Chains A and B, each alone.
Chain A
Amino acid sequence: DTAVSQTPKYLVTQMGNDKSIKCEQNLGHDTMYWYKQDSKKFLKIMFSYNNKELIINETVPNRFSPKSPDKAHLNLHINSLELGDSAVYFCASSQGFPPPKSYNEQFFGPGTRLTVL
């Protein structure tokens, strides 16, 4: 199946731990994203990579570090987890730089539900 996949689907951990979430897309896209969706369903972009180069870096604590080993993968590492990090994290991908007045759809993964205790 062509899709955006994330692992793990659920992650329950203690405060202070370090964890990683992995994302892979087989759509042939060159741009990948990380979003955070809070308990009120507010979805906010965190990072974006185009061809392994960081192009969007929103105001996110530096405990969050994205890593893109290649165009098809974008991982998210989180250090020293805090209660407020509990959320659903979505990975997405798209084909960057569409023609003017066009929009290239961002395809979202199924999400990783992170719970920090």
Chain B
Amino acid sequence: QKEVEQDPGPLSVPEGAIVSLNCTYSNSAFQYFMWYRQYSRKGPELLMYTYSSGNKEDGRFTAQVDKSSKYISLFIRDSQPSDSATYLCAMSVSSNTGKLIFGQGTTLQVKP
């Protein structure tokens, strides 16, 4: 069993829909939770990070962390075709080592 589980999809939604992307994890020592977005044939880029439990909002994006359930989510409101990409969750025990454990990524397609 992988430390971080993420449904690879693909997930297809119409433009304007609310998208929910999720990851579960097994290591209770994880404290830092990140979402990266990766466009086709490009490197991942950081969308958001959260320390410990709670919510964080940035424009149309909201990240949620529930450490008691070992479950994290990324919500995208008013999804746009430009949001079509692979979304990777990543986690870390410590911010110092920089060792990120990634989920497999969920491929999202937003149709006009």
Interface residues of A (CB under 8 A from B): 4, 31, 33, 40-45, 48, 55-56, 90, 92, 94, 96-98, 100-111
B102–A101 touching, CB < 8 Å: no
A33–B88 touching, CB < 8 Å: no
**CB-defined interface of B17-42 with A at 8 Å, one 1/0 digit per residue?**
00000000000000010100010011
Known contacts A48-B99, A98-B95; 5 further A-B pairs (Cβ under 8 A): A33-B98, A55-B98, A56-B98, A105-B49, A111-B41
B43–A103 touching, CB < 8 Å: no
- Nearest opposing residue in chain B for A94, CB measure: B98
Taken together as a complex, chains A and B put the C-alpha atoms of A110 and B40 apart, in Å, by: 10
Say yes or no: is B104 at the interface (Cβ < 8 Å to chain A): yes
Residue among B8, B44, B102 with the highest chain A CB neighbour number at 10 A? B44
Interface residues of B (CB under 8 A from A): 8, 32, 34, 38, 41-46, 49, 51-52, 86, 88, 92, 95-102, 104-105, 107
A102–B51 touching, CB < 8 Å: yes
Contacts of B43 on A, CB cut-off 8 Å? 4, 90, 92, 108-111
B49–A103 touching, CB < 8 Å: yes
